[in-house]
Structure 1
């Protein structure tokens, strides 16, 4: 017997086959025919692979782009004319021209407003330096505008039972109210009661029980300014007289509620820091200073509008000066350089 066979037999006898070395699943598995979906999937994969191979072959067919008959170079493209002589859009220039013109008109209007406001402040300050006038028993509401900021004085007694608080109002960052009290002038006859804005009190002194010193009971002499109070803006809520809630001074409404004339007097006092502290602690209303407090910001508006007009005019000049065809100059330089 051959020597190799003897070696194989000795190896097989020393290492017999065991069941765990044999894959029983492979022995009993039967080959099943592919399903139609598998056939379609395999055909689709072969088609995609063929397309990729064909594209790869076409891309590497030509070594240089110029060897491809379908290649189009820059020299083969048709020339494009540069719009060097095109005019600017008329409507666009007209719209740009309206901006500096409008700003200039608004600046001139603010110049007129500045002159009007300066004359108005001068007229009010002239009224402040005059001696106070005694307030007549009956005042025509239509004539109050002619005496705005006029110093007047009146004698009578405060009716604290019909007191009204307008608020919230701030003074030096502190929340509080304006105290409006009817002044009954018995010596002037019936119907001579007027509304007096006595001044500001802090919020914690809103209750009359907390400020007895701020409620004089005897006859007093009130000196102040005959004024037209500020108007309500769109953000201010309406007053609720039935609940005693007042957000702004509606003189006619407050006069009907308190049974007085629609006349508004703002009590004045000299600016004194110590007196202000004393009144704040005791709940005595702090009157306004006898000065004109009209805002005059028209100088700032004039500078703003004229600056805007100048800036937009320069911008429009740059737009008009620059030709519409931006590439015309570059094309001309290229022609001169190549020539």
Structure 2
């Protein structure tokens, strides 16, 4: 009996043990990914097709890249330096004209003030532009006009325009427009600046100026509501019934005096100097530099063929249309 048991145990040890779970996994069907890989491997490859051709089998095409430039392109490129050169020459003439004009105005500033005539021809004012004049009369504060907004040292405000009524020895009355200067926005109302409203006869000294030219971006004035954005001398003169004469009151530049006037509401007059801008030297440099740069570009384009690696050297390009 014991011998039979030992034989049975030896028989069981000789058998290989297999886990049931592993057995189920090994007998499971291949996954979908594995099946796709198998199908892809079993399918035919492109190289197996006798009619297959790669890009290396395509015959190369020799193309010319050194074609001539189009005339219209060269004409447009040549027009730029020519135009810039003529604009530079025009700015040279403008510089001469502006320098002569400033010199003429500065010569008028150094002369003694001229008594302002009782009656003035508006057509003759251009010959006396920037001429220093003196006048006596009485301010008509009831007809005051404010032009604004105007900026002075970064502050918002207005220009005060007050008619000056004058009476000659014969008792005849004439009125001119006087630009007294700038006041801050907080002093726009006359009740806020009583010291700036002189009464009685006063004597002023200023510059006789030609009427200003309006900017296209400046809004139109509204005389009905006494709203003024631009000093239209003829329109303002017709509004208050004065001559179309514009005088800008002047004062010597003084920082402390300007602060005192601003605080008291007294208009700050302009300094007796020419304030014309003269930027023509910068314009000359800009236009001539542009002309020289575009001329160099034109020379490089003409000397170098399209697509070439060097001056006067053409080259071919091999390419395939099927790439």
- Interval of TM-score (by shorter of Structure 1 and Structure 2): 0.7 to 0.9
Q: Which residue of 2 aligns with 1:129?
A: 110
Residue pairs, 1:144-223, within 5 angstroms: 144-187=125-168, 189-223=171-205
Match of 2:79 among 94, 98, 109: 98
User: Are residues 149 and 55 of structure 1, via their aligned partners in 2, closer, same or farther at CA, if it must alter by over 3 Å?
Assistant: farther
> Please, what TM-score do these two structures have when normalized by structure 2?
0.80
Q: How many residues were matched structurally? A: 278
Distance 1:190 1:258 in 2: 17
Q: Which residue of 1 aligns with 2:6?
A: none
> Please, what TM-score do these two structures have when normalized by structure 1?
0.76
Structure having the larger proportion of residues in helix: 1
Contact 1:179–1:197 under 8 Å retained in 2: yes
Distance 2:124 2:47 in 1: 102
Contact 1:191–1:261 under 8 Å retained in 2: no
The yes-or-no answer on 1:117 pairing with 2:98 is yes
TM-fit CA distance, 1:78: 5.2
Q: Which residue of 1 aligns with 2:308?
A: 326
Q: Which residue of 2 aligns with 1:36?
A: none
Q: Which residue of 1 aligns with 2:280?
A: 298
User: Are residues 190 and 56 of structure 1, via their aligned partners in 2, closer, same or farther at CA, if it must alter by over 3 Å?
Assistant: farther
Q: Which residue of 2 aligns with 1:21?
A: none
Residue pairs, 1:5-84, within 5 angstroms: 57-60=43-46, 62=48, 68-71=50-53, 74=56, 76-77=58-59, 79-84=61-66
Contact 2:130–2:207 under 8 Å retained in 1: yes
Q: Which residue of 2 aligns with 1:337?
A: none
Q: Which runs of 4+ in 1 moved over 3 A?
A: 53-58, 67-70, 72-76, 188-191, 327-332
Taking CA–CA contacts closer than 8 Å with sequence separation of 6 or more, which of the two structures ends up with the larger relative contact order? Answer: 2
User: Are residues 54 and 257 of structure 1, via their aligned partners in 2, closer, same or farther at CA, if it must alter by over 3 Å?
Assistant: same
Distance 2:306 2:151 in 1: 58
TM-fit CA distance, 1:196: 0.5
TM-fit CA distance, 1:267: 0.4
**Alignment deviations for residues 163-220 of structure 1 (CA, whole Å, 9 cap, x no partner):** 1111111110111111111111112643521111111111111111111111111111
Instruction: Provide structure 2 residue ranges, at least 5 long, that are not aligned to the other structure.
Output: 1-38, 318-323
Instruction: Provide structure 1 residue ranges, at least 5 long, that are not aligned to the other structure.
Output: 1-52, 333-339
TM-fit CA distance, 1:315: 1.0
Contact 2:167–2:173 under 8 Å retained in 1: no
Structure having the larger proportion of residues in strand: 2
